[in-house]
Chain A
Amino acid sequence: GQNIDQPTEMTATEGAIVQINCTYQTSGFNGLFWYQQHAGEAPTFLSYNVLDGLEEKGRFSSFLSRSKGYSYLLLKELQMKDSASYLCAAMDSNYQLIWGAGTKLIIKP
């Protein structure tokens, strides 16, 4: 079957760095997405990886290893506004997104 695994909750300190891991199993693979979702709001796009390696975008970076079925989202210089859920989603061979349950990130001062 198709499956996405990511931690349910993580806690980090303002100004620090946090890495949110995601492992996936899909029928075929057409890329890995990360979305941010603040409580009570819609998900918003953060990053997309289809090739192995690291993609950097400001304070956020995303890494992909297709051979390991693994991705991570790296958040640097954490700010209180980064408190949110982070959703990992893999696109299968039918171009449908398979979503993880999300990782709730709690930032402490």
Chain B
Amino acid sequence: IAGITQAPTSQILAAGRRMTLRCTQDMRHNAMYWYRQDLGLGLRLIHYSNTAGTTGKGEVPDGYSVSRANTDDFPLTLASAVPSQTSVYFCASSDSNTGASTEAFFGQGTRLTVV
């Protein structure tokens, strides 16, 4: 089934540990995004990638890093987790980041708890 897949679906992580959230899409979309969603707040952009080989910082990039080695994969890494990074993380992709604006497709989310 075509779409966007995230792993793991949930994780409890000790503070100070390193963690990589995985995201893979098979729709050949050029743009990919990582958001965090916290209660009472809108989706906030962490990092994005307009095309393979390029990445950019979003609204809340501190403490996170990304890479985009190929079109399909866009992993998000927390180098040293802190409790404030407890959140639901969504990966998304879209077919175009300029010109005609198209919808974004979302993964099912990763619920991360840092203790």
Interface residue ranges, A against B (CB under 8 Å): 4, 30-31, 33, 41-45, 48, 50, 87, 89, 91, 95-102
Contacts and interface: CB of A to CB of B under 8 A. Distances in A.
Contacts, number: 45
Given A42-B90, A45-B103, 5 more contacts: A41-B108, A43-B106, A48-B101, A96-B48, A99-B44
B41 interface: yes
Contacts of A91: 101
Interface residues on B, range: 20 to 34
Given A42-B109, A95-B98, A48 B103 contact: yes
Given A42-B106, A42-B109, A43-B106, A95 B101 contact: yes
B109 A31 contact: no
B45 interface: yes
Given A42-B90, A42-B109, A43-B90, A97 B104 contact: yes
A42 B33 CA distance: 14
Contact of B45 (A33, A45, A48, A96): A96
B99 to A, nearest CB: 9
A87 B44 CA distance: 13
28 contacts: A30-B101, A31-B101, A41-B108, A41-B109, A42-B90, A42-B108, A42-B109, A43-B43, A43-B106, A45-B104, A45-B105, A48-B101, A50-B101, A87-B43, A89-B42, A95-B98, A96-B45, A96-B48, A96-B58, A97-B43, A97-B45, A97-B104, A99-B43, A99-B44, A100-B42, A101-B40, A101-B41, A102-B42
B86 interface: no
A101 B42 contact: yes
Interface string B69-95: 000000000000000000000100000
Nearest to A43: B106
B44 to A, nearest CB: 7
Contacts of A50: 101
Contacts of B101: 30-31, 48, 50, 91, 95
